């Protein structure tokens, strides 16, 4: 295997500033792409490779090739137009190629003298006068050409102010440091695993990926299947699992409250419900019931499709905590969802004299003070709210159960702030709910040792929703359909993504749409609800709609969750291509709650991109939230599906949870090997997670 060219003046220190020529300014630039140490540089794996190990004859060039060519300059000229460009003509054995420079200076143009030899690397493109390279890397020479590269050339992700050449120099210097100090890059995978899987050592893997021979695959998709890449993927996934297990073990060191086996309030609630729990709800309730009878903190994720009945299961868990003398807090990401939880819990628990209070940012100061006092003195048994529930001034009397809805919309630090509200030295039980189904393979890797419960059964009588994709140009036909539906006694939703008109997004605003529909359908009672209304205003409009005093409700996505109107059987989603699959599925779940057949019209603006069309077709073909989540994962990646832009719950350097899902059973087996080696386990976590460990938390 070819080794990198030696670099001198490498100091024995693991910080990037130990490298020759790396000062504070460059270190700050590297920090933008999460490179702080020499190890970070070595784990900054190339995106792809360029082959500069041989010259390609001009007569073999094809559009799309990235290659090295060598030819003679036959002339150059300035081409005038809207933007002046420099054209350089090349010839090699009767084959021709043009070079085009849009950004150039006068001295550069003079360098391309006729008869000069040139070697260029770049992408071959079709041009107005034949094949061309635009802004290639080049080297002019008279007689002796420069030496060819001995290995493929790595191309890295970088940031402004750091060129590819500089990044390659930095990686090479980091490699030389590891050669001089082998102790900071030890082998951390068991020898038996390396032998059984036919994997290279850590040093061999990094050398192959940073300084590859010319038979290395060019693209990342192919490279990821190489033994070197697989070696790093396996090690990183093991480190990530170990980190999650450590977080869980650390949490278990703090005892949780032990709830009573018998909950009279939970039993009474079930007898007073106007419906019977499904088998899936009963199963999940028993899992939660069993978990909370021990001093080990429950950390259970409750997943269920739209309308599957997660909230009543959460209410039963709350009853168990209340009977044991503990407080329950219910955290929701938006006020409208929190209000819906408040409404449901009061409807179910008020008859049993359970004290339920509301805490949100928009409360009046006097109401807020009253709520905070009730929480502190224990008068409040169930606290429902948004981010206000974990603010610094809020002290809990005896917190025993934390219920978090749509947990992926909260950051790790926010969840930790809420858990720390429990009495010193204790940890409350956690029930984490999500109506955005997360594929099991992804959930296992992202949330590690969490227990998972799935309500995989809808209440009896729920019929599949017929979904249709329709062009916005057929708006008049849609309005006629609304008239027909409302004339037969049904109610309709019309969803708009924005409140105010945006020329950039070309979305119909809810307020404008309400005016237009009022003019087009003068005999219908039309209501409007959006996020800028006060909670009281929204509640009044939604109550009128639920009581059938409004025929057509125009709304933004504030009605995404928590609204149950069985008589609403038709939904129109305007500009549907602007919304994510999970959000579209949640919105669609607002209809189909009655006995009649329901329909959802996904109305789009043209032109529609291929990806947008594919996404809408997924909704048309399936009502299964988990199947949709799998597709969403394929299209958007794990970061978006998990909401880790905000949550930071998963951060992988090299591995890809979708691509590498087949490795997970092997990863879980390998993780067991580290149970008796905490020192080795910690080294592995430090290598791959390092300073980011605080953001990987259950």
Under 8 Å between Cβ of 550 and 518: no
Question: For domain 54-148, which CATH number applies: 2.40.50.140, 3.40.47.10, 3.30.460.80, 1.10.1060.10?
Answer: 2.40.50.140
When mean pLDDT is compared across 121-135, 311-325, 498-512, 648-662, the lowest value belongs to: 498-512
* pLDDT at 374 exceeding the cut of 90: yes
137-152 tens-digit pLDDT: 999 998 888 889 888 8
User: Which of 74-88, 152-166, 445-459, 676-690 is modeled with the greatest confidence?
Assistant: 152-166
pTM: 0.66
pLDDT at position 241 over 80: yes
Buried b (16+ CB within 10 A) or exposed e, 434-462: bbbbbbbbbbbbbbbbbeebbbbbbeeeb
459 neighbors 307 (Cβ within 8 angstroms): yes
Q: Residue 222: pLDDT band by 50, 70, 90 thresholds?
A: low
H/E run at residue 543 = helix 535-546
Q: Is pLDDT above 90 for 42?
A: yes
pLDDT per residue as tens digits for the range 311-364: 999 999 999 999 999 999 999 887 777 888 998 999 999 999 999 999 987 788
**CATH value of 466-622 in 3.40.50.300, 3.90.226.10, 3.40.710.10, 2.30.290.10:** 3.40.50.300
Instruction: Please report the pLDDT score of residue 449 as a whole number.
Output: 54
pLDDT in tens, 58-101: 999 999 999 999 999 999 988 887 788 899 999 999 999 999 99
Express each pLDDT in 448-492 by its tens digit: 556 778 888 877 767 788 999 999 999 999 999 999 999 999 999
Place 656 in a pLDDT band, splitting at 50, 70 and 90: confident
Helix axes 664-672, 227-252, angle to 10 degrees: 60
* CA distance linking residue 38 with residue 41, whole number of Å: 5
Structure tokens at 357: 């209070």
pLDDT value, residue 580: 77
Residue ranges of the chain that CATH labels 3.40.50.300: 264-455, 466-622
Over range 288-299, report the average pLDDT. 91
Class of domain 264-455: alpha beta
Per-residue pLDDT at 11 exceeds 90: no
Q: Transcribe 558-597 into DSSP letters.
A: GGSSS---TTEEEEEETTGGGS-HHHHHHHHTTS--SSS-
Q: Where in the chain is the domain with CATH 2.40.50.140?
A: 54-148
The residue with greater pLDDT, 562 or 120, is 120
* CA–CA separation, 373 and 380 (whole Å): 9
Pairing mode of beta strands 66-79, 117-127: antiparallel
Percent over 70 (pLDDT), the chain = 86
Which residues does residue 604 pair with via DSSP β-bridges, in sequence order? 471
**pLDDT value, residue 696:** 45
Asked if pLDDT for residue 298 goes beyond 80, the answer is yes
Q: What is the pLDDT of residue 305?
A: 76
């Amino acid at each position: 295997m070819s080794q990198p060219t030696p670099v001198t003046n490498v100091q024995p220190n693991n910080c990037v500033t130990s490298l020759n020529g790396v000062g504070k300014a460059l270190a700050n630039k590297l920090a933008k792409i999460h490179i702080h140490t020499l190890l970070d540089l070595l784990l900054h794996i190339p995106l792809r490779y360029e082959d500069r190990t041989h010259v390609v004859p001009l007569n073999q060039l094809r559009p799309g090739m990235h290659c090295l060519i060598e030819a003679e300059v036959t002339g150059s000229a300035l081409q005038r137009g809207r933007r002046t460009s420099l054209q350089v003509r090349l010839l090699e054995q009767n084959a021709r190629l043009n070079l085009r420079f849009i950004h150039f200076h006068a001295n550069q143009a003079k360098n391309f003298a006729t008869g000069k030899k040139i070697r260029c690397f770049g992408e071959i493109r079709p041009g107005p006068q034949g094949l061309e390279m635009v802004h290639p890397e080049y080297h002019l020479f008279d007689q002796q050409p420069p030496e060819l590269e001995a290995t493929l050339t790595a191309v890295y992700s970088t940031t402004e102010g750091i060129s590819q050449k500089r990044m390659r120099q930095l990686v090479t210097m980091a490699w030389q440091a590891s050669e001089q100090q082998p102790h900071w890059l030890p082998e951390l995978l068991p020898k038996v695993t390396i032998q059984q899987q036919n994997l290279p050592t850590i040093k061999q893997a990094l050398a192959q990926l940073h300084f590859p021979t010319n038979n290395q695959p060019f693209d990342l998709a192919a490279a990821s299947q190489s033994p070197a890449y697989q070696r790093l993927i396996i090690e990183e996934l093991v480190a990530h699992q170990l980190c999650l297990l450590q977080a869980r073990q650390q949490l278990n060191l703090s005892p949780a409250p032990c709830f009573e086996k018998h909950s009279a309030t939970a039993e009474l609630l079930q007898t007073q419900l106007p419906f019977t729990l499904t088998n899936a709800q009963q199963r999940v309730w028993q899992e939660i019931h069993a978990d909370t009878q021990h001093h080990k903190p429950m950390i259970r994720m409750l997943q269920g499709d739209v309308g599957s009945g997660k909230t009543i299961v959460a209410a039963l868990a709350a009853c168990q905590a209340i009977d044991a003398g503990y407080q329950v807090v219910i955290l929701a990401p938006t006020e409208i969802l929190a209000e819906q939880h408040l409404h449901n819990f009061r409807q179910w628990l008020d008859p049993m004299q359970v004290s339920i209070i509301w805490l949100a940012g928009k409360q009046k100061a006097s109401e807020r003070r009253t709520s905070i006092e009730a929480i502190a003195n224990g008068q409040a048994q169930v606290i429902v709210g948004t981010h206000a529930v974990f603010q610094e001034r809020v002290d809990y009397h005896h917190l025993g159960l934390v219920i978090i809805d749509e947990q992926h919309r909260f950051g790790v630090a926010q969840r930790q702030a809420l858990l720390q509200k429990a009495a010193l030295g204790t940890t409350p039980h956690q029930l984490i709910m999500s109506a955005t189904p997360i594929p099991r393979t992804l959930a296992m890797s992202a949330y590690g040792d969490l227990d998972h419960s799935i309500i995989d059964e809808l209440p009896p009588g729920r019929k599949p929703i017929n979904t249709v994709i329709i062009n916005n140009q057929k708006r008049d036909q849609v309005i006629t359909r609304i008239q027909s539906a409302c004339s037969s006694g049904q109610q309709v939703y019309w969803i708009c993504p924005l409140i105010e008109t945006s020329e950039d997004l070309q979305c119909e605003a809810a307020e404008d749409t309400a005016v237009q529909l009022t003019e087009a359908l003068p005999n219908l009672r039309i209501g409007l609800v959006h996020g800028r209304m006060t909670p009281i205003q929204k509640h009044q409009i939604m109550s009128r709609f639920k009581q059938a005093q409004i025929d057509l409700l125009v709304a933004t996505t504030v009605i995404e969750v928590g609204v149950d109107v069985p008589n609403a059987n038709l939904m129109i989603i305007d500009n549907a291509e602007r919304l994510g699959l999970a959000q579209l599925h949640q919105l669609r779940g607002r209809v189909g709650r009655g006995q009649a057949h329901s329909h959802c019209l996904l109305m789009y603006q043209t032109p529609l991109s291929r990806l947008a069309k594919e996404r809408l077709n997924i909704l048309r073909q399936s009502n299964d939230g988990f199947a949709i989540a799998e597709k969403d994962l394929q299209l958007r990646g794990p970061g978006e599906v998990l909401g880790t832009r905000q949550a930071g719950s998963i951060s992988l350097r090299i591995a890809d949870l979708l691509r590498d899902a087949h490795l997970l059973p092997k990863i879980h087996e390998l993780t067991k090997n580290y149970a008796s080696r905490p020192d080795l386990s910690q080294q592995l976590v430090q290598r791959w997670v390092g300073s980011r460990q605080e953001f990987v938390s259950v």
